[in-house]
């Protein structure tokens, strides 16, 4: 149970980190601390203004990194499954790579590719944690039915499409193109496909959003109709969430890229990604649990109890 609790805590902390990271950019605080990893040479600078968001984000990122390290060590000590051990190592490598991108983002003054790659990596890391949490969750001994391969493939396509849409949204955000179409939502300054790179990037993000919504709704409907009962809550939640995401996308424009709305939109995207991935996993077989034998961390076990 300890490894499951650690994975769950790390996934939740990472979700919080994602939201805070979105607020750093939305509030224009990305360079509030011109140095890295300290802020004006201090570990605890005055936490006010942009520093509150920027350095607060770094402190939460440090907590996530420590949790990830604890998770990796615990998994290797307590579990035998190769996939779980490799997954924990991937998580550890991703969190280190993510920290490196965060440093380059500041030191290189917010280059578009690095800033967008920073978010893309964070969502990949979050996805690995969702998988680890599902994989490490306690399981009963009863056999569990799986959905038809076509239904599971639809859910997998929805999860992948959601991830790619989030990355595309990061490009829109970090390119400063959020209002390239003005306050138009359906068209872009009266055109279905506008001229100009920023406006085209926004329009592409909108078209992709419609396709993602269709993918998610189709996968949810198929899972509700023919998937196992355990997958239906995720299917229903995903269907509701993707519709809310569409509304939040429109609201982002109407609010003139309000910090609150943009942050909600990013949080909704991360939740949708987690839900889509969880649906894909729940539509498949449940792997068996393999313990590593005697516990090697008695102090941690006592704390878990």
Query: In sequence order, what DSSP letters do the residues of 106-146 get, joined into one string?
Result: HHTT--HHHHHHHHHHHHHHHHHHHHHHHHHS---SS----
Q: In the chain, pLDDT over 70 holds for what percent of residues?
A: 93
Distance CA 91, CA 164 (A): 19
**Are 115 and 1 in the same domain?**
yes
Range of the domain at 180: 142-290
Query: Could you read off the pLDDT of 189-213 as tens digits, one per residue?
Result: 889 999 888 999 999 999 999 999 9
Query: Could you read off the pLDDT of 77-136 as tens digits, one per residue?
Result: 999 999 999 999 999 999 999 999 989 988 898 888 998 999 999 999 999 999 999 999
**Are 154 and 285 in the same domain?**
yes
Q: What is the mean pLDDT of residues 63-87?
A: 96
**Are 121 and 57 in the same domain?**
yes
Tell me the pTM: 0.91
**Are 162 and 266 in the same domain?**
yes
**Are 160 and 277 in the same domain?**
yes
**Are 3 and 129 in the same domain?**
yes
Residue 125 in domain: yes
Cα-based angle 243, 244, 245 (whole degrees, multiple of 5): 90
Banded model confidence at residue 299, pLDDT cuts 50, 70, 90:
very low
Residue 188 in domain: yes
Residues contacting residue 203 through CB under 8 Å, at least 6 positions apart? 181, 188, 192, 193, 194
Q: What is the mean pLDDT of residues 215-231?
A: 94
Q: What is the mean pLDDT of residues 234-260?
A: 95
A 10 A CB-CB count for 260 gives 11
pLDDT at 204: 96
Domain boundary among 72, 107, 138: 138
Q: Is the pLDDT of residue 305 over 80?
A: no
Q: What is the mean pLDDT of residues 216-220?
A: 97
pLDDT at 112: 87
Q: What is the mean pLDDT of residues 35-44?
A: 92
pLDDT at 144: 67
User: Any idea which of 62-76, 130-144, 175-189, 246-260 has the lowest mean pLDDT?
Assistant: 130-144
Sign of CA dihedral 182, 261, 8, 136: negative
pLDDT at 81: 92
Q: What is the mean pLDDT of residues 67-73?
A: 97
**Are 128 and 18 in the same domain?**
yes
Q: In the chain, pLDDT over 90 holds for what percent of residues?
A: 76
Q: Is the pLDDT of residue 31 over 60?
A: yes
The gap between the terminal CA atoms of the chain, to the nearest Å, is 9
pLDDT at 292: 67
Count up the domains in the chain and report the number.
2
- Paired tokens of 193: 């496909």
Rg of the chain over Cα atoms, rounded to whole angstroms, equals 21
Domain boundary among 114, 138, 162: 138
Q: Is the pLDDT of residue 294 over 60?
A: no
pLDDT at 300: 35
Domain boundary among 116, 138, 160: 138
pLDDT at 301: 35
Query: Could you read off the pLDDT of 133-187 as tens digits, one per residue?
Result: 999 998 765 456 788 899 999 999 999 999 999 999 999 998 989 999 998 998 9
């Amino acid at each position: 149970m300890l490894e499951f609790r650690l994975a769950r805590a790390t996934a939740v902390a990472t979700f919080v980190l994602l939201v805070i990271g979105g607020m750093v950019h939305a509030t224009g605080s990305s360079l509030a601390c011109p140095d890295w990893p300290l802020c004006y040479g201090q570990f605890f600078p005055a936490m006010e203004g942009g520093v509150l968001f920027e350095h607060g984000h770094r402190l939460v990122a440090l907590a996530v990194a420590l949790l990830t390290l604890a998770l990796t060590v615990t998994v290797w000590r307590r579990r035998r499954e190769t996939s779980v051990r490799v997954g924990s190592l991937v998580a550890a490598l991703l969190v280190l790579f993510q920290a490196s991108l965060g440093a380059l983002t500041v030191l290189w003054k917010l280059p578009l590719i690095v800033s967008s790659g920073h978010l893309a990596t964070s969502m990949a890391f979050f996805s690995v944690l969702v998988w680890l949490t599902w994989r490490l969750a306690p399981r009963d001994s009863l056999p569990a039915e799986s959905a038809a391969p076509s239904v599971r493939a639809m859910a997998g396509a929805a999860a992948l499409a959601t991830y790619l849409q989030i990355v595309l949204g990061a490009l829109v955000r970090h390119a400063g193109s959020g209002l390239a179409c003005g306050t138009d939502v359906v068209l872009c300054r009266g055109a279905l496909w506008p001229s100009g790179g920023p406006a085209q990037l926004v329009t592409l993000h909108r078209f992709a959003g419609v396709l993602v919504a269709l993918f998610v709704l189709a996968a949810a409907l198929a899972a509700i109709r023919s998937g196992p009962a355990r997958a239906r809550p995720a299917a229903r939640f995903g269907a509701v969430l993707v519709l809310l995401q569409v509304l939040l996308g429109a609201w982002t424009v109407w609010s003139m890229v309000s910090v609150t709305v943009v942050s909600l939109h990013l949080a909704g995207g991360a939740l949708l990604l987690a839900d889509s991935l969880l649906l894909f996993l729940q539509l498949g077989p449940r792997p068996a649990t393999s313990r590593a034998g005697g516990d090697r961390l008695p102090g941690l076990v006592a704390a878990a109890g």
